[in-house]
């Protein structure tokens, strides 16, 4: 377009306003001013949003709808004298955004240049629409995965809870977070008696190695196995083959 400045905006369909995605050549204050453009804006992009078609202003100083507006002040601040705004429209006819070019001198684009711009605008609209479709598809896929994952996790948690194999989850140097039916059968403590307490204090655990060494191995290798001696609720001592693994 042989322009001095340019900008691209994306439509926020919920509020029917344009958000500035990128610009080149604007004064920083003008870029902030046009960060959001509404239907009632006295700018070419605002009018093009309202009309749904291209708007060309060869000279902002002689444009009636810009006279005395804050938009005209910003055009002057950024040394913009001429501007055109072309909607980005999808193949289904949906308005997706806006591409604008600006000149420092009065200027009216020739038809040939505008036809080339229309080709670029079509490509940009196709890319935006394709990206949105891919993102929406990915979101739906992830949402389904989360839903299925949650259902599987709930089923797994139910199976682990009901398992006769004693299982518990505890924070390193912290409290018990999970205590299943198998642990209750072996040790005699109900879940409400165990959860929230230190497993080593509750069961008066005797370790075959120093506790600090066990913790170090869990932290570094994420796994430890060996025999532990535990004291049950009724005073019995049991020896268990413990297999411990950190979650992360």
Question: Do residues 113 and 13 share a domain?
Answer: yes
Do the domain assignments include residue 158?
no
Quick one: pLDDT at residue 220? 84
Last residue of a domain, one of 65, 98, 125: 125
Do the domain assignments include residue 154?
no
CA distance 156 to 140: 24
Quick one: pLDDT at residue 159? 59
Do the domain assignments include residue 99?
yes
Question: Do residues 100 and 201 share a domain?
Answer: no
Last residue of a domain, one of 125, 152, 182: 125
DSSP assignment of 38-105: -TT-SSHHHHHHHHTS-EEES-GGG-GGGTTSHHHHHHHHTT--EEEEEEEE-TTS-EEEEEEEEESS
Do the domain assignments include residue 171?
yes
Looking at residue 230, which CATH number applies to its domain? 3.30.450.20
What are the mean pLDDT values of the chain's consecutive 10-residue runs (248 residues total)?
93 88 93 92 93 95 95 96 94 89 96 91 84 65 60 61 76 81 89 89 88 82 87 91 78
Question: Do residues 81 and 190 share a domain?
Answer: no
Distances (CA, A) of 227 to 42, 86, 171, 206, 243: 79, 75, 20, 9, 9
Residue-range definition of the domain harbouring residue 22: 5-125
User: Do 59 and 22 touch, CB atoms closer than 8 A?
Assistant: no
Question: Do residues 112 and 170 share a domain?
Answer: no
Last residue of a domain, one of 125, 148, 178: 125
Question: Do residues 97 and 205 share a domain?
Answer: no
Question: Do residues 230 and 178 share a domain?
Answer: yes
Residue in the structure block whose two tokens are 């205590």: 179
Quick one: pLDDT at residue 14? 80
Quick one: pLDDT at residue 148? 57
Question: Do residues 119 and 169 share a domain?
Answer: no
Do the domain assignments include residue 137?
no
DSSP assignment of 138-166: HHHHHHHHHHHHHHHHHHHHHHHHH-SS-
Do the domain assignments include residue 39?
yes
Nearest to 43 by CA among 88, 98, 4, 90: 98
Question: Do residues 121 and 167 share a domain?
Answer: no
Do the domain assignments include residue 130?
no
Question: Do residues 22 and 119 share a domain?
Answer: yes
Nearest to 81 by CA among 102, 98, 112: 102
Looking at residue 101, which CATH number applies to its domain? 3.30.450.40
**76: exposed, middle or buried (Cβ count in 10 Å: 0-12, 13-18, 19+):** middle
Work out the number of other CB atoms within 10 angstroms of the CB of residue 144. Answer: 10
Question: Do residues 119 and 54 share a domain?
Answer: yes
Question: Do residues 115 and 175 share a domain?
Answer: no
Do the domain assignments include residue 233?
yes
Question: Do residues 188 and 78 share a domain?
Answer: no
Into how many domains does the chain fold?
2
CA distance 243 to 197: 20
């Amino acid at each position: 377009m042989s322009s001095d400045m340019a900008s691209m905006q994306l439509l926020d369909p919920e509020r029917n306003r344009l958000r500035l995605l990128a610009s080149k050549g604007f004064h920083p204050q003008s870029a902030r001013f046009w960060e959001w453009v509404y239907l009632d804006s006295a700018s070419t992009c605002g009018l093009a949003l309202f009309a749904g078609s291209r708007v060309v202003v060869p000279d902002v100083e002689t444009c009636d709808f810009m006279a005395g507006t804050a938009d005209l002040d910003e055009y002057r601040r950024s040394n913009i004298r001429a501007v055109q705004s072309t909607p980005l429209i999808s193949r289904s006819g949906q308005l997706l955004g806006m591409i604008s070019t600006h000149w420092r001198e009065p200027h009216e684009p020739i038809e040939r240049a505008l036809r080339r711009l229309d080709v670029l605008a079509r490509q940009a609209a196709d890319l935006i629409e394709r990206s949105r479709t891919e993102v929406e598809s990915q979101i739906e896929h992830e949402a389904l995965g989360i839903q299925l994952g949650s259902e599987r996790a709930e089923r797994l948690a139910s199976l682990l809870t009901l398992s006769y194999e004693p299982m518990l989850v505890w924070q390193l140097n912290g409290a018990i977070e999970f205590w299943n039916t198998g642990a209750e059968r072996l040790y005699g403590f109900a879940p409400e008696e165990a959860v929230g307490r230190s497993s080593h204090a509750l069961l008066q655990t005797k370790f075959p190695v120093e506790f600090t060494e066990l913790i170090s191995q869990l932290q570094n290798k994420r796994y430890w196995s060996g025999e532990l001696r535990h004291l049950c609720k009724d005073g019995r001592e049991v020896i268990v083959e413990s297999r411990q693994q950190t979650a992360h």
